[in-house]
Structure 1
């Protein structure tokens, strides 16, 4: 029997081919995924067993590297954030320390700070003392148990010490917070609080010398004006007088009368720091300073004074049209010749003149903690000859306070430095131990040694052979400048004297204005002499 073998269709081969195709597609998809996600291109024979294991190891290493990079980046961001936070905290700590050390005083001293009212309930206001220990202000209790502020010297220290009552002025205001603070022993503080009593406040010790203050006060007499006495080396104000004045003991009763006075009286105005006056011939010191700066051969200056002169078409008269004859620069200052200084003034560079006045703090803040007025120097670069000549000898639009004049003279006396005038030395506790000291360093040097030497020589001639000759017969050396400053069209003038006395190493500056009195040599110089003689 014949057996016929029929061909059989190989389904297995077809299935294998189909499976191979699907596997290849899966490999391709996996390769694309790995390449897309990890940046790794698989080997062509990825499905072979050995190669596939190699790719897996490489992938793992690359993934681990990328994870490390991510962690490193994340850690770096955390470190930066932590560093920024740390810097912010450090800045806050530094600011807090600065605030505690200094800035808080200004805030606490603000009259609108309600904390002061709280302190007044628990602290008996401290005293204000002179440099030599005299009590200038104290708190007493009347028969009804009410606290009253008492001023033993009445009007004499009215403008420097100030008052408490209708508000606060002077030292009473500026250093208020210190007198409401108590630095007594904590044990005693606890005892007084348990008794329901107030703790004694700290005392403010001033730089004022009671002897000099009395001499200056008496010397000004019944005149309106101001007297400022200071140490040119450290800025200590040794005496400060302003008249008209008031009695701080009766300020509440006299208040309405005082505030309704006309402007000429202005008893509450501290003329020593807030009064502005034309400087008159005292300003010739500044004109001379500028002339020295612009002319190396300033000693060759010469002027023939005939009592009046025509300067750039402007008629200029000396006092009473007195002829001074031929003058060099020193004798021009000594004789206070208006014509000579008008000649100097019209030769100056106006911009440089303005810069010198700005350097000397005209129109600028003064280094003084109390109330004061800014001085004025107004001379445009296109000013006409009339304004220039008037400005050169202290008229025109120029205005200055006795305080500012004292600062400028102090610079001449101390070698050219701006000092910080001040009324307070330190604060002391109940046991007379210092609890707070105030330091006042010299400021900018505004004059060179050459300039200071030249000004001192000329100011010495003012005393030895000029308008302040009355000060020459003394056992101390005086350098100064008188001034007669016209303030209205009638020719009425204020009397000025600014200068300093030196004996051995000690120096004392005075700045004196006598309103409406006339010439400085006649009215201001005698006041200066009384002060210098007493010291």
Structure 2
């Protein structure tokens, strides 16, 4: 064989080997990821020949069901956009999102014993059916949360602090998963991002709701007690940066209980500087900042700047939730839940049970502790401080007749537009069963905008 032919032979031989290696990679190593990739619509179309499991709320409301057309089982969503931000969709053309994506193996009958049973049914000529999901969502609370938020850009999250169960979660704007084919182009070109679940993906300066973390650090380290006295003149300088109280208010001599209830920026700036960047960063981390959310639905990681990057001016700013602190509404709900649950933050969850179509429980979520940022004693003290916020401070619009509510307002200044309105709360304060976090973008003060929303959701959760 002459040299040119030998080179040509070697070239094609190498191409053949490369092709074999690529096919081996795709068929063996990459196959599981490709199969579950939500963008792999061929896999979605194939699985739509299977009867997918239904999804129901904790109170038995159907959220996702099937409609058979020929050989395909098409998904329908009876609640429309009420639950779409986290329920997601299963669509032949657009793939999957939300619970439909994360729990696809269970819903399509591919996981564990259900998968073996499904293949056996196929051999017998029976229709293969996936597992059903029972969620932790209370649709009564969900509807109230959606109505209370209205058409204001933002998010609402409600948890049971004792277990971590998500009781309600909504965001606006939303989309109707029944109309994806009709609206897909508009949804994706909309600057308000209807596909974004702001409750777990939106990152916002928390403003004064972050003072709960700073107060916890001060109480745990004994830098302050509720009776510690401060003097406010309306402003304080820190490293060349001047901190002012919201609205230009001047409070004079006051104790730490009043500082928390009235959300006095200057006092928290002083406390933050005295604690130092390292202590603030440590406690932010203990509450979950900088950590991935501990559940399969994912979400954005809330952040606190590196202590080494904070000079005195920046320490003063982060101490009242401004500067480079960013948080999701779910993260701030978890912060409040630590206070409500004796210092423990439970792992949040949305799926309570995985069931066969006969109702047999295949898997059930067992509540577990995620973090313990503070002691029970500090939690009790913070609880009393938060009660004062609602009784006589900035959060009086969250008050409920006959029920003691604990809360914290936040009015987070942003570069453009009105401040973001925040409120975190739990009730009953003496035996908390519901924790709520509310965020409304560019809406004004937390006490006037977010607190009334939280009050309605808490009332629904307590059956009032």
Q: TM-score range by the shorter chain?
A: 0.7 to 0.9
Counterpart-to-counterpart distance in 1, 2:129 and 2:322:
52
Task: State the partner residue of 1:94.
Answer: none
Mark the CA change 1:304 to 1:151 in structure 2 (over 3 Å): closer, same or farther: same
Give the direction of change, closer, same or farther, for the CA distance of 1:191–1:244 in structure 2 (3 Å limit). Answer: closer
Other structure's SS at 2:179 match: helix
Q: Give 1:361 shift.
A: 1.8
Counterpart in 1 of 2:156? 227
In structure 1, list runs of 5 or more residues that go unmatched: 1-104
Q: Which has the higher contact order (CA 8 A, sep 6+)?
A: 2
The answer as to whether partners of 1:500 and 1:507 remain within 8 angstroms in 2 is yes
Moved more, 294-303 or 388-397: 294-303
> Is residue 151–residue 249 contact of structure 1 (8 Å, CA) maintained in 2?
yes
Do residues 149 (structure 1) and 78 (structure 2) align? no
Distance 1:439 1:286 in 2: 27
Aligned partner of 1:298 among 202, 222, 225: 225
Is 2:399–2:455's contact at 8 Å kept on the other side of the alignment? no
Q: CA deviation at 1:151?
A: 0.4
Aligned-partner Cα distance in 2 for 1:327–1:106: 59
Moved more, 424-433 or 316-325: 316-325
Q: Choose the corresponding residue for 1:205, options 129, 134, 151.
A: 134
Pairwise CA distance, 1:112: 8.2
- How far 1:122 moved relative to its partner? 6.0
Question: Quick check: 2:239–2:312 contact (8 Å CA) kept in 1?
Answer: yes
* Counterpart position of 1:515: 441
With over 3 angstroms needed to count, the CA separation of the structure-2 counterparts of 1:312 and 1:503, relative to structure 1, is: closer
RMSD: 2.8
CA distance in 2, matches of 1:118, 1:243: 30
Whether 1:499 aligns to 2:428 is no
2:246 is the alignment partner of 1:316: no
Report if aligned partners of 2:67, 2:76 keep a CA contact under 8 Å in 1. Answer: yes
Question: Does the aligned pair in 1 maintain the 2:48–2:72 contact within 8 Å?
Answer: no
Matched residue, 1:391: 318
Number of positions where the alignment pairs a residue of Structure 1 with one of Structure 2:
426
Deviation at 1:147, TM superposition (A): 2.7
Match of 1:257 among 178, 182, 186: 186
Q: 1:162 aligns with which of 88, 99, 104?
A: 88
Matches within 5 A, 1:158-197: 158-165=84-91, 166-181=94-109
The offset of 1:297, in angstroms, is 5.1
Within-5 A mapping of 1:29-108: none
TM-score by length of 2: 0.85
CA distance in 2, matches of 1:191, 1:335: 64
Deviations 1:347-375 (A, max 9, x none): 11321221111222211222121020001
Q: Distance in 2 between matches of 1:332 and 1:503?
A: 20
Counterpart residue number, 1:529:
455
Counterpart Cα distance in 2 of 1:330 and 1:215: 32
1:70 is aligned to none
Question: Does the alignment pair 1:343 with 2:270?
Answer: yes
Q: Which residue of 2 aligns with 1:13?
A: none
Query: Per the alignment, do residues 197 and 115 of structure 1 end up closer, same or farther by CA in structure 2, a change over 3 Å counting?
Result: farther
The answer to whether the 8 Å contact 1:215/1:531 transfers is: yes
Could you say if the C-alpha distance between residues 106 and 511 of structure 1 is closer, same or farther in structure 2, counting changes exceeding 3 Å?
A: farther
Whole-Å Cα distance in 1 between the matches of residues 34 and 345 of structure 2?
27
Matched-pair contact (CA < 8 Å) for 2:44–2:95? no
Q: 2: CA distance between counterparts of 1:256 and 1:250?
A: 11
Change (3 A) 1:397 1:192: closer
Question: What is residue 448 of structure 1 aligned with on the other side?
Answer: 375
The Cα of 1:229 is off from its aligned counterpart by: 0.6
SS at match of 1:141: strand
1:109 and 1:175 in contact (8 A); partners too: no
**Cα-to-partner distance string for 1:439-498 (whole Å, 9 max, x where unaligned):** 2311332211222122111111111110111233422221110000111156x2110001
Distance, in Å, in 2 between the alignment partners of 1:130 and 1:193 is: 33
In the other structure, the counterpart of 1:374 is 301
Q: Give ranges in structure 2 of 5+ residues lacking alignment.
A: 1-31
Cα 1:336/1:258, change in 2 over 3 Å? same
Computing the radius of gyration over CA atoms, which structure comes out larger, 1 or 2? 1
